[in-house]
Amino acid sequence: MANILVTGGAGFIGSNFVHYLVNHTDHHVTVLDALTYAGNLASLADLPENRVTFVKGNITDAPLVDELFSRTDSVVHYAAESHNDNSLHDPRPFLDTNIVGTFTLLEAARKHDTRLHHISTDEVYGDLELDDPERFTESTPYNPSSPYSSTKAGSDLLVRAWVRSFGVRATLSNCSNNYGPYQHVEKFIPRQITNVIRGIQPKLYGAGENVRDWIHADDHSSAVLTILDKGVLGETYLIGADGERNNKDVIELILGLMGQPTDAYEHVTDRAGHDLRYAIDFTKLRTELGWTPAYGDFEAGLAATIQWYRDNEAWWAPAKDGVEAFYATKGQ
Using the minimum distance from each CB to ligand NAD, give the nearer residue, 154 or 202.
154
Least spacing, CB of residue 27 vs ligand NAD, in Å: 19
Using the minimum distance from each CB to ligand TDX, give the nearer residue, 10 or 108.
10
The binder of ligand TDX chosen from 28, 135, 191, 277 (CB under 6 A): 191
DSSP assignment of 296-308: --HHHHHHHHHHH
Tell me the angle at which helices 188-198 and 247-257 cross, rounded to the nearest 10 degrees.
40
Using the minimum distance from each CB to ligand NAD, give the nearer residue, 90 or 266.
90
Residues near ligand NAD, by CB under 6 A? 7-8, 10-14, 33-36, 38-39, 58-60, 78-82, 97, 101, 119, 121, 152, 175, 177-178, 184
Distance CA 227, CA 171 (A): 8
Using the minimum distance from each CB to ligand NAD, give the nearer residue, 196 or 239.
239
Question: Are 5 and 68 in contact, with CB atoms under 8 Å apart?
Answer: yes
Question: Are 123 and 78 in contact, with CB atoms under 8 Å apart?
Answer: no
The binder of ligand TDX chosen from 72, 236, 247, 305 (CB under 6 A): 247
Write phi, then psi, for 181 (nearest 5 degrees).
-70, 160
**From ligand NAD, ligand TDX, none, interface partner of 12 (C-beta below 5 to 8 A by class):** ligand NAD
**From ligand NAD, ligand TDX, none, interface partner of 110 (C-beta below 5 to 8 A by class):** none
**From ligand TDX, ligand NAD, none, interface partner of 78 (C-beta below 5 to 8 A by class):** ligand NAD
Residue 271 in contact with ligand TDX, rule: CB under 6 A: yes
Residue 320 in contact with ligand TDX, rule: CB under 6 A: no
Distance CA 172, CA 132 (A): 26
**From ligand TDX, ligand NAD, none, interface partner of 173 (C-beta below 5 to 8 A by class):** none
Beta strand residue intervals within 57-169, DSSP E: 74-77, 115-121
Could you say which DSSP state residue 88 is in? H
Residue 203 in contact with ligand TDX, rule: CB under 6 A: yes
Using the minimum distance from each CB to ligand NAD, give the nearer residue, 11 or 202.
11
Q: Which residues pair with 56 in a beta bridge?
A: 33
Distance CA 66, CA 114 (A): 11
DSSP-based three-state secondary structure for 116 = strand
**CA-based nearest residue to 117, from 236, 10, 286:** 236
Q: Which residues are catalytic?
A: 122-123, 148
